[in-house]
C-alpha cells in the first residue's frame, strides 16, 4: 500500500470524485457515443425505453471503471470504448429487470420504465440490451474478455435469483448476504475493471489486482447503498427511503439489528421482513432500532474495510494521477450519503 | 432440388419425424446431458424452475437442427453438443420471458413457470439461462459461432419487442408479420442449423444453405403454429386454443380474414383485436370468419411454400439418410395439426 494513496484519508478534506471524472472524461465521451449509437433499433420502442433509463442519467460507474483501468494501464487504443458500453448495457438490462421484479415506481428520480412502458416491454428491452452487449463483446473479438464478461453475467443472474430467494427470510446470514452482493453487484465491477488489464496486455498480476479493486469497491458500494436506505441523516437526499424494508430485503443493517436485538425487537423484525409490518410507522421504528444498535455505522465500517482492500489492490501500479483518482473514487464511494 | 427429396410428398403416406429422430438420437442424448448438467446451480430455485420447463418436455427442435446439420455435414467431433445446448437455453430463456410477457397459464401441458414460481423468479431464471448459453458458446471458443448466435439473439429480442408493438394493432400488415416471425422464430432456427456448417468447416455455400433451411423451416413452423390456433379441425389436440386471439396478436389467419372481410366483419376484427371482444363466443365467431375465408388453409399454403424453400436449400448436400430425414422433418412440420 502506498503512502500517496492512504494520504487521501488523512488530509482532512472530503474525498472527491472530480479527479476520477477528469481522468475518464475523454474516454467516457467516446463510451457514451457508443451507448447512444448501439441502443438504436428500427423498432422505435427499443430506443424509447432504453433511452428513458439511459438518458435519465446514472453515474455510468461501471464503464468509468473500465476507462479508468485503461488509463491506469497506460492503454493507448480504443477497444475499451465498446467494451465499456457492453458493461453498461449489462448493467442497464439488470436494472430494467430489477425494476420489474421489485415493482419499482421510481429510478434515477423519474418514473421507472416498468411504470411508463409496462412490464412486458421492460422485460423484452432488457433482453435486447443484454444481447446487444454480447454483440459488442463479440465485435471486440477477445475470447479472454468474452470469458470474463460472460462469466460475470452468469454470476450476476444467479445472484439476482439468490437475492430473490433470500427475500423475506429473516434467517439470512451476513455471509449469505455478502455472497449475494458479491454476485449481483461486485462481479460486474470486478469484470469491468479487469478487462482493462486484458486489453492493455498486462500480466496476470495486474488483471487480478484490477479484479480485486473492482470487486472490493463493488462490495463497499453496495454496503453503503444498503446503509443509506436506513440512514436517518441522509433522509433529505431525495433517494426513496425504505424500499428495501418494504420489499423485505435482508440487507446488512437489518441482519445486524436482528442479531443485536432483544426478543421483542427480533419479533418486530420477523414480522416486518415477513411483510406484516411495512407501513411508514413500521419503517420509522425499524430506523430507530437500527440506530439504537449503530447498524448504519457498523455497515459503513465494513464498507470502509472493503474500500481499503480496493485501495490496497492498486499498490502494484505506479503512482500517479490515475492511481490517485481511482483511490479517491473509492473513498468518495464509501463517504457518500445519497 | 433433388428427386429423392420431392418424392416424400408424392409417396402418399403421411410425413414422419421418425427418420429425423433416429438420425439425431445419439447426438441428442449428449445434448440432453449437457442441458441437464449446465442448468444446475448452487441456488436451488434455478434448477427447480428451469427443470420445470425443460423436464416438461418440448420437442428440442432447435438443438435437433444443430445435430442434424452436423450429421449432414459429416461432422465427427463433439463441439455441437455444447452449442446445441446453448441454442436450447436461448430458446428456453425466451419461452420463460414470453410466458411472463403474455401472462401465460400453461406451457407444454403444465402450469407455466410464471404461475408456479411467479414472474420475478421466471424473469431472473430466464436471464440466468441466457447468460449460461453465452458461457457455453464462449467455452466452445469459435468467434464465428459466437457472432452467428449473438446476432441471432439480438434479432430475436428485437423481434419480441416488435411483436409486442404490433399487438392489438389491426393495421399490422402481412409483411410486418413476416418480419416479426422471421426475427422471433426463424432467426434461431437459421443460426442453430448454420453453426453446424461452421464447426464442420464447410464452405460459405453450405453455411448459407443451412441458414436458408433453418430460416424457411422456422417461418413455415411458425405459420403452422399460428394457423393451428384457429383451426377448428385441430380443436381436440390439447393445445390451448385462442390464446393468440385473446392476446390480440396479429397473426396471418387474422390478417387475411381482416383483409378479406366485409365492412361488418372488419368492424368485428377491429373490436376483437383491440380487446373489446374476446370471450368464448367471440373466439367462435372469429374461427367462423377465418374458415369462411379459408384463412387457415391460406396460411398453411404459405407455410408449404416456405417449407419447399427449406427443402430446396438442401439440394447442394449429397443425397442420403441425413438429407432425407431433414427434408421429411420439414414436411412433417407443415403437415402437423397440433
- Name the residue among A200, A212, A196 with its Cα closest to residue A65: A196
Asked if A135's CB is within 8 angstroms of B154's CB, the reply is: yes
**Candidates B124, B150, B164; nearest CB to A135:** B150
Answer yes or no: are the C-beta atoms of A125 and B158 closer than 8 Å: no
In angstroms, the CA A67 to CA B122 distance is: 34
Task: Output the tens digit of pLDDT for each of chain A's 338 residues.
Answer: 444 444 445 545 789 999 999 999 999 999 999 999 999 999 999 999 999 998 877 889 999 999 999 999 999 999 999 999 999 999 999 999 999 999 999 888 889 999 999 999 999 999 999 999 999 999 999 999 999 999 999 999 999 999 999 999 999 999 999 999 999 999 999 999 999 999 999 999 999 999 999 999 999 999 999 999 998 776 444 446 788 999 999 999 999 999 999 999 999 999 999 999 989 999 999 999 999 999 999 999 999 999 999 999 999 999 999 999 999 999 999 998 87
In angstroms, the CA A290 to CA A269 distance is: 11
Grid cell digits, residue B56: 416438461
Grid look-up 452436423 returns B70
* Closest CA of chain A from B226, distance in Å: 21
A-chain residues within 8 Å CB-CB of B135? 150-151, 154
* Sequence spans of domains, chain A: 13-335
ipTM over 0.90: yes
- Name the residue among B46, B53, B38, B43 with its Cα closest to residue B125: B46
Asked if B44's CB is within 8 angstroms of A157's CB, the reply is: no
Spell out the alpha helix ranges (H) of chain B.
3-10, 18-38, 45-54, 61-72, 79-102, 113-117, 119-140, 143-166, 174-181, 187-199, 204-228, 243-246, 252-260, 263-274, 280-292, 295-313, 321-335
Element (DSSP H or E) covering residue A80: helix A79-102
Q: How far, in Å, are A109, A121, A246, A290, A293 from residue A230 at the CA level?
A: 18, 32, 12, 8, 12
Label residue B108 by pLDDT band (50, 70, 90): confident
Asked if B153's CB is within 8 angstroms of A131's CB, the reply is: yes
Label residue B239 by pLDDT band (50, 70, 90): very low
Which residues contact residue A284 at a Cβ distance below 8 angstroms, ignoring those fewer than 6 apart? Answer: none
Q: What is the DSSP string of A283-296?
A: HHHHHHHHHHTTHH
Q: What is the DSSP string of A144-162?
A: HHHHHHHHHHHHHHHHHHH
In angstroms, the CA A87 to CA A243 distance is: 26
SS3 B111: strand
B-chain residues within 8 Å CB-CB of A164? 45, 120-121, 124
Q: B8-335 architecture in CATH?
A: Orthogonal Bundle (1.10)
* Closest CA of chain A from B214, distance in Å: 21
Class of domain A13-335: mainly alpha
- Name the residue among A171, A180, A178 with its Cα closest to residue A266: A171
**Candidates B125, B143, B162; nearest CB to A43:** B162
* Total CB pairs under 8 A between chain A and B: 127
**Candidates B124, B137, B165; nearest CB to A101:** B124
B-chain residues within 8 Å CB-CB of A141? 143
Predicted confidence at residue A242, as pLDDT, reads 87
Amino acid at each position: 500500500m502506498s503512502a500517496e494513496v492512504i494520504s487521501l484519508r488523512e488530509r482532512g478534506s472530503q474525498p472527491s470524485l472530480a479527479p476520477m471524472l477528469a481522468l475518464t472524461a475523454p474516454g467516457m465521451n467516446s463510451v457514451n457515443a457508443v451507448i447512444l449509437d448501439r441502443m438504436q433499433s428500427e423498432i422505435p420502442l427499443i430506443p424509447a425505453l432504453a433511452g428513458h433509463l439511459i438518458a435519465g442519467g446514472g453515474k455510468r460507474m461501471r464503464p468509468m471503471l473500465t476507462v479508468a483501468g485503461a488509463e491506469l494501464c497506460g492503454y493507448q487504443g480504443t477497444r475499451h470504448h465498446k467494451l465499456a458500453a457492453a458493461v453498461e448495457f449489462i448493467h442497464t438490462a439488470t436494472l430494467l429487470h430489477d425494476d420489474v421484479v421489485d415493482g419499482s415506481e421510481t429510478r434515477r428520480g423519474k418514473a421507472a420504465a416498468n411504470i411508463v412502458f409496462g412490464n412486458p416491454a421492460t422485460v423484452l428491452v432488457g433482453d435486447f440490451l443484454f444481447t446487444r452487449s454480447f454483440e459488442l463483446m463479440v465485435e471486440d473479438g477477445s475470447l479472454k474478455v468474452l470469458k470474463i464478461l460472460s462469466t460475470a453475467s452468469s454470476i450476476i443472474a444467479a445472484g439476482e435469483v439468490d437475492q430473490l430467494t433470500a427475500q423475506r427470510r429473516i434467517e439470512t446470514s451476513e455471509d449469505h448476504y455478502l455472497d449475494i452482493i458479491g454476485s449481483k453487484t461486485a462481479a460486474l465491477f470486478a469484470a469491468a475493471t479487469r478487462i482493462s488489464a486484458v486489453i492493455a496486455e498486462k500480466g496476470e498480476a495486474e488483471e487480478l489486482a484490477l479484479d480485486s479493486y473492482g470487486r472490493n469497491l463493488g462490495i463497499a458500494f453496495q454496503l453503503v447503498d444498503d446503509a443509506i436506505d436506513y440512514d436517518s441523516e441522509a433522509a433529505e437526499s431525495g433517494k426513496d427511503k425504505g424500499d428495501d424494508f418494504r420489499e423485505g430485503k435482508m440487507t446488512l443493517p437489518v441482519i445486524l439489528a436482528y442479531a443485536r436485538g432483544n426478543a421483542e425487537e427480533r419479533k418486530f423484525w420477523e414480522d416486518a421482513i415477513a411483510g406484516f409490518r411495512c407501513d411508514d410507522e413500521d419503517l420509522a421504528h425499524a430506523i430507530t432500532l437500527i440506530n439504537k444498535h449503530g447498524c448504519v455505522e457498523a455497515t459503513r465500517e465494513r464498507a470502509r474495510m472493503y474500500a481499503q482492500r480496493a485501495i490496497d489492490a492498486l499498490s502494484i501500479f505506479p503512482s500517479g494521477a490515475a492511481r490517485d483518482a481511482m483511490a479517491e473514487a473509492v473513498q468518495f464511494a464509501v463517504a457518500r450519503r445519497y
